[in-house]
Structure 1
């Protein structure tokens, strides 16, 4: 417990905030123009779409909470689901995107009363659903937008495309492995893992890898018995959660830029974000901080009337979709720790 809690100590929010502010400040300075904030002209129309943009994060979080309730077979209350999702998002926000918040998420579920195997099964199934969403939606949008899915005039376009294909390749291979391990033959997968970790350079992690493989076997046994309704509900919640995340930007565009209201542009903005997020999934910074702001300006700059405005819009986007989880985690984590500590202490006394 101490190891997980220490990795999520509230002081860790300082680093992603400093990185994000630093990169945003550099972008504003590098492209300084007194018109950088000139598009921010508040009206009832603007206020309405900003409120809707905020509501998209609510849609995202409620969908995630509903999904985790479904994945735990309704063993969690909405309050427990809220705490777990907020803490899961917090752990992702303070960890490198390439690492994510998987281990803490298993820990949070375990402390809320699920067994270690059940907790692992829930998290692995959630990850599987997220990866399938990307594997399916990205090629579909490519069919409609093709070359437009990448910003035509972006700086370092070749690096962006390379990063995208590398990220998508990692997700695709990982999803294939996970699909095979969960639905086809988890025992053969365990044998493969055991063989791979015989190599001298990685042999010291063999026991941990075998433990993870055993968890996959248990997860496979559980999810193979799930009815179609389980997959339909959790799959729909996955689509809603990711769509809510992406449509924050769509509604920010509608708040400030009149010409962004046609359906073609809206799905193009959506598709650009999918491509952008593929790259952010392999980001080495906490929550993609700094890199997210920079990539945002490259990917979406050509879709607004004046490119000078894009850095300011990126700051608004992160203020809505990223920073709230940092502060929510700082507030919720100490309360949750006291709650689970008292619960475990009470359990020991009863025993």
Structure 2
């Protein structure tokens, strides 16, 4: 049994080996170089005025990322009843983000997160409960924020329906976003129902789905996931409302800080006098971008994210060349640091927890 578990853990770690950072870096930089060569001309550099003012706001963008990570660390400590120290929480979050950065966005880092939590001292059942709780809170943030933003913003402008230079993908963007939101809503409802009301019913549904010929080879994994859900439910249903409120507030600040990074980067160069409504619009479009990034097959959305940035937020920048430059700066601040931090931490973490 122990040998089988060790083999399973080894397979998980093989998927997040440090050498895999090469792929997202190559893909991301190749996309940016292509966009820069295609879009940058002699006037592009003259449109970017770098000053001490710019440096100040870039530092604020870095502070936003710090707030994001502190929020995730605080949430992890809340969900584990302060079991982890701040240092442990930092290590786990950095490993989690590293895993997300080197795997396709639809997969993310949650599949390995249970292992990280378990090796840091939590039992497997409780580790599953914590990981599923983070998923529940993340989806709750999106499900609440997206309709609120649509309610207060011009939906035509949000989805660029009236754009004079619209293309096919922009025309269908509204339906794509609504479809993605519907998928998230269904997932959230099923997860909530399974975690808080009927975990055995959710396990039965999983096993029924994985009887299909296409999915049958993953039936064992589905059975284990169902068992984890049952264990998680026992842990979570005992938690008071205040516990969930504190965890959600930490989630709220993490995601909000993450999205404000782009707003702050644009402030650094003040390409135009952005109004409060425009800042909210930029923020809202990032939620839509997140739906699109979820279907990206590349590690961490590399390449695809940069392209979407130039197309969807380019309206707020003076030229396509400037948009490509800002996309690179955005990824340098919000994505690439996790690759290099993970490469530093992961080998030491493996050496500590897998001595043989």
Category of TM-score, reference length = shorter chain: over 0.9
Could you tell me which residue of structure 1 aligns to residue 74 of structure 2?
66
- Cα separation, 1, equivalents of 2:271 and 2:213: 60
After the TM superposition, which parts of structure 1 deviate over 6 Å for at least 4 consecutive aligned residues? Answer: none
Could you tell me which residue of structure 2 aligns to residue 243 of structure 1?
256
Could you tell me which residue of structure 2 aligns to residue 296 of structure 1?
309
CA RMSD of aligned residues (A): 1.6
1:341 positional shift: 3.2
Matches within 5 A, 1:35-54: 35-54=43-62
Could you tell me which residue of structure 1 aligns to residue 240 of structure 2?
227
- Cα separation, 2, equivalents of 1:128 and 1:107: 19
Matches within 5 A, 1:246-285: 246-257=259-270, 259-285=272-298
Q: Does 1:141 align with 2:149?
A: yes
Could you tell me which residue of structure 2 aligns to residue 112 of structure 1?
120
1:258 positional shift: 5.4
Matches within 5 A, 1:147-162: 147-151=156-160, 152=163, 153-155=165-167, 156-162=169-175
Structure 1: segments with no counterpart, 5+ residues: 346-351
Q: 82, 85, 99: which one pairs with 1:77? A: 85
1:111 positional shift: 0.5
Could you tell me which residue of structure 2 aligns to residue 349 of structure 1?
none
CA contact (8 A) 2:79 2:247 kept: yes
CA contact (8 A) 1:93 1:325 kept: yes
Could you tell me which residue of structure 1 aligns to residue 334 of structure 2?
321
1:160 positional shift: 3.4
3-state SS of 2:218 partner: helix
Cα displacement string for residues 190-244 of structure 1 (whole angstroms, at most 9, x for unaligned residues): 2222222223332232222121111111111111110122111110010100011
1:54 positional shift: 0.8
TM-score, structure 1 normalization:
0.93
Q: 16, 26, 36: which one pairs with 1:8? A: 16
3-state SS of 1:287 partner: coil
Matches within 5 A, 1:137-216: 137-145=145-153, 146-151=155-160, 152=163, 153-155=165-167, 156-216=169-229
Structure 2: segments with no counterpart, 5+ residues: 1-8
- Using the TM superposition, name which of 329-338 and 163-172 deviates more: 163-172
CA contact (8 A) 1:132 1:175 kept: yes
Cα displacement string for residues 245-292 of structure 1 (whole angstroms, at most 9, x for unaligned residues): 111101011111153442111111100111111111221110010010
TM-score, structure 2 normalization:
0.92
CA contact (8 A) 1:35 1:309 kept: no
1:182 positional shift: 1.0
1:92 positional shift: 0.3
